Amino acid sequence: MKTKYISAPYLLWMAIFIFAPLCLVVYFAFTDKRGNFTFENMSALSTYAPVFLRSIILAGVATVVCLVMAYPVSYFMSRMKANRQKVMMMVIMLPMWMNFLLRTYAWMSLLERNGLINKFFGMLGIGPFDMINTNGAVILGMVYNYLPFMILPLYSTMVKIDHSLVEAAQDLGGNLYHVLTKVLLPLSLPGITTGITMVFVPSCSTFVISRMLGGDSAFMIGDLIDLQFLGNSYNPHLGSAMSLVLMVLVLLCMSVTNGFADDDSEGLL
Amino acid sequence: MDNNIIISLKDIVVDFDGETILNGLSLDIHDKEFVTLLGPSGCGKTTTLRIIGGFQTPKSGSVFFDGKDIANLPPYKREVNTVFQKYALFSHLNVFENIAFGLRLKKLPDQEIKSRVLEMLEIVGLKNFARRDINTLSGGQQQRVAIARALVNQPKVLLLDEPLGALDLKLRKEMQIELKRIQQALEITFIYVTHDQEEALTMSDTVVVMKGGIIQQIGTPQDIYNEPVNAFVADFIGESNILDGIMVRDFLVEINGTQFTCVDKGFKPNELVNVVIRPEDIEVVPAIQGQLSGVVKSVVFKGVHYEITVEQGGFDWIIHSTQKQNVGELIGMNIGPEEIHIMKRMRD
C-alpha cells in the first residue's frame, strides 16, 4: 500500500502534463475555430500525405543506418576490458554534451556549397557537390544526433550476454553468421527494440534537423506542425490533427517492430 | 587400454600477457577414455581444454585429432563438443531447442532431430522437460541439458569444464556417477577438468595432475593415489604427511631420527628426500611397541574415522584411525615398508 503513495507525485504530474494535454490535442483536432465538432482537420490531412510519408521514410532510413552502425560497435564495446568500456562510453557520450543546435549548425557549415567538405574536394579537383538541402543531409543529421541513443541500449543488453554463449554456439557447429543470427540477435532483441524506438521517434518528428540541413527539399511533418503553431499558417486545429495522426503512425510503426520482436522469440521457442 | 590415440598435444606453449600458462605441455589421450585434468586454479587445465576445443590458439606446439593437425581449425569445424562451466545455455530457447541447436545447424530433417533430442533427454533423465523454459530449471537440471546439448551431436570427444562446480555436494555425487554411466554407455572420450581430487578419483580412467602449466603425473586413480611421483601430487591428492627424510641407502630411510625399512631404491646414499605417508597407513599401537611415539594433540571425529594429530620430533603427524585416542596421551605409531613413499625433494 505504501509504495502506491510514493508514486503519487508522478501520477499527478502525468495527469496534468501528459494526460490533460493529450485530451486537449484530441479536442482541438476534432473541432473548428468556433469549437464545433468536425472531421475537416482530419480530411484536410490527406493533402499532406507525401510529407508524412517522407518523414517516416527518412526516419526509417536513419534508424536502419544507426542500427547497422551501432550493432558491431556495441558488441565489440561489450567485449572490451571494463576500463576501456568506460572510455568508449565517454567518447560516445561526448558529442551529446554539446548543444544540439550547435552540432547541427556545424554540419551546415561543413556541408554547404562553400563549406569545408566541398573546399577539400575542390583541392582534389572534384566537386563542388550539392550536399546541403538534400534528404541525405537530413539523414546524416539524424544519424549523427541520435546514434548514441542506439548504441547505449544495445550495449547495455549485450554486456549481459555471457561470452560463453558465443563459444557454445561455435562449439555446436555455428559459424559467425549462425552466432549472430541464432544467438546474438535474439538475445539482444530488447536492446534493438529500445534503440529503434529511441532513434525513430525523435527522428520522425524533428523539425530542427530538417530545417537546417534539408531546406525545402526535405520538408518534414515536424516542420509542418511547427508552421501551424508558430508559423504564418497559424491553425492549431490542423496542427493538433497532424500531431495526433503522427502519434498514431509512430505507435503503429513501433507495434510492428515490437510485433517482430515477439514473433521472433516465439518462433524460436 | 587400447593404444588408439584420439588426441595428441605436442609441446604446447601458451602465454597471457607475458605470463606462461602452459609450458611445453605434451599429452596423449586415448579413445573412449575418461581423462581428468586435475590441478589447483591457474595450473593451466582449463587452457588445455580450450586448446582442444579450439577457443584458444597456442603460441607454439601442435594439436592432433585422429592423427590430423587441427591447431588452426575453428571450433565449429572440430568433432568435439564442450560442456561449459556455467552451462552457457541459450535462455531464449526452451530445453528442446537448446539440445537441438547443433542438429538444426547441421540441417538434419525435423523427424531425426526430434527423435535424437528425445532420446538424449531420456539418457540425461529429463524425459518430460522438452517444452520447459531454461530459466525455470534447477542447477542440476540445467547441467543435464548442457550435457545433452553437447552429446546429441555425437562428438568423438566431450570436453567438460568443471561442470559440477556449481552444484551442492549431494547432487555433485549423483552427477559424478551419472556422468560415468553416460560415458560408458555411449563409449565417448571424456576430457574432464576439475580441481576436486575426489571427483577425479571417482570418475577417471586416467588422471593428469597439473601444476604451473606442467604435467606432474599421469596415471590411473590408484597409481596417482598410491604412488604419487612428488610431494605436490601427494599433497594435492588426499591428505598426506609429507616429511623431510634422508635416504641412508637402498630400502632404508631415516625420518625424524628413526630408521625405517622401505621399498624404494635408486637414490644416492644419504640423499635428502621427501617422505609421504598417508594418514590411514599409520597404525596406532601402545607407546612402547611403536617405531615412533608421540603425544596426541587433538582428536576430531570425521564420521568414518577419527582424525588424530600427534606431535613427534617437531612434526604434527595426521593419523586416520577408527579407534578413539585421548588428547595428551602418549601413543606409538607403526608404519609398514609398503606405506612409505619416497620422492625426490621438491625445490620450492
Residue A23: inside a domain: no
Question: Is pLDDT at A123 greater than 70 in this prediction?
Answer: yes
Residue A204: inside a domain: yes
- Give the model's confidence band at B169: pLDDT under 50 very low, under 70 low, under 90 confident, else very high: confident
Give residue limits of the domains in chain B.
5-231, 239-344
By Cβ distance, the residue of B55, B90, B94 closest to A183 is: B90
**How many percent of chain A have pLDDT more than 90?**
50
B56 → chain A, closest CA residue? A167
pLDDT computed for residue A97 by the predictor = 87
pLDDT computed for residue B71 by the predictor = 81
By Cβ distance, the residue of B55, B92, B102 closest to A173 is: B102
Residue A39: inside a domain: yes
A190 → chain B, closest CA residue? B92
Q: Which has the closest alpha carbon to B337: B251, B254, B270, B269? A: B251
pLDDT computed for residue A115 by the predictor = 85
A175-220 pLDDT per residue, tens: 999 999 999 999 999 999 999 999 999 999 898 899 889 887 778 8
A51-83 pLDDT per residue, tens: 999 999 999 999 999 999 999 999 999 999 999
CA distances from B174 to B74, B116, B140, B189 (A): 34, 24, 10, 20
* Cβ B312 vs Cβ B276: under 8 Å: no
Suggest the residue from B51, B92, B107, B134 to mutate for an interface test with chain A (most A CBs closer than 10 A): B92
- Give the model's confidence band at A132: pLDDT under 50 very low, under 70 low, under 90 confident, else very high: confident
Under CATH, what is the fold of the domain B239-344?
A: OB fold (Dihydrolipoamide Acetyltransferase, E2P) (2.40.50)
CB contact under 8 A, B97 and A183: no
> Higher model confidence: residue B3 or residue A204?
A204
Query: Candidates 3.30.930.10, 2.60.120.10, 3.40.50.300, 1.10.760.10; correct CATH number of B5-231?
Result: 3.40.50.300
CA distances from A75 to A16, A154, B97, B110, B164 (A): 41, 8, 25, 32, 30
Question: Is pLDDT at A238 greater than 50 in this prediction?
Answer: yes
By Cβ distance, the residue of B54, B74, B88 closest to A168 is: B88
Residue A118: inside a domain: yes
A96-106 pLDDT per residue, tens: 888 888 988 89
B186-238 pLDDT per residue, tens: 899 999 999 998 899 989 999 999 999 999 999 999 999 888 888 889 888 88
> Average of pLDDT values for B268-291?
90
Q: Is B144 on the interface with A (CB under 8 A)?
A: no
A17 DSSP 8-state letter: I
Range of the structural domain that residue A36 is part of: 31-268
pLDDT computed for residue A262 by the predictor = 55
Which are the contacts of B242, defined by CB distance < 8 A and separation ≥ 6? Answer: B231, B234, B235, B274, B275, B276
* Cβ B136 vs Cβ B89: under 8 Å: no
Question: Is pLDDT at B298 greater than 60 in this prediction?
Answer: yes
pLDDT computed for residue A39 by the predictor = 87
Using a CB-CB distance cutoff of 8 angstroms, which residues of chain A are in contact with residue B116? none
> Average of pLDDT values for B146-167?
91
Burial class (CB in 10 A: 0-12, 13-18, 19+), B217: buried
Query: What is the layout of strands, in order, in the sheet containing B292-301?
Result: B282-286, B330-335, B292-301, B306-312, B315-321
Using a CB-CB distance cutoff of 8 angstroms, which residues of chain B are in contact with residue A165? 88, 90
- Give dist(CA B292, CA B313) in Å, integer: 9
- Give dist(CA B265, CA B249) in Å, integer: 8
What are the DSSP calls for B49-77, one per residue?
A: HHHHHTSS--SEEEEEETTEE-TT--GGG
Question: Is pLDDT at B2 greater than 70 in this prediction?
Answer: no
B43-100 pLDDT per residue, tens: 999 999 999 999 988 999 999 999 889 988 899 999 999 999 888 999 999 999 999 9
Q: Which has the closest alpha carbon to B217: B268, B226, B67? A: B226
* Cβ B39 vs Cβ B194: under 8 Å: no
Tally A–B CB contacts below 8 A: 70
Question: Is pLDDT at A22 greater than 60 in this prediction?
Answer: yes
pLDDT computed for residue B1 by the predictor = 44
Using a CB-CB distance cutoff of 8 angstroms, which residues of chain A are in contact with residue B153? 172-173
CB contact under 8 A, A172 and B102: yes
Q: Is B102 on the interface with A (CB under 8 A)?
A: yes
Alpha-helix residue ranges (DSSP H) falling in chain A: 2-6, 8-14, 20-29, 40-44, 49-78, 82-93, 100-111, 116-124, 135-158, 163-171, 176-178, 185-205, 208-209, 221-230, 236-268
- Letter string b/e over residues B188-206, b meaning 16 or more CB atoms within 10 A of that residue's CB: bbbbbbbbebebbbebbbb
pLDDT computed for residue A234 by the predictor = 87
For chain A, the domain total comes to: 1
Q: Which has the closest alpha carbon to A27: A17, A38, A16? A: A38
Residue A7: inside a domain: no
Question: Is pLDDT at A2 greater than 80 in this prediction?
Answer: no
Number of neighbours of residue A200 by Cβ within 10 angstroms: 26
By Cβ distance, the residue of A162, A172, A186 closest to B81 is: A172
Read off the pTM: 0.80
What are the DSSP calls for B88-150, one per residue?
A: ---TTSBHHHHHHHHHHHTT--HHHHHHHHHHHHHHTT-TT-TT-BGGGS-HHHHHHHHHHHH
Q: Provide ipTM, 2 decimals.
A: 0.80
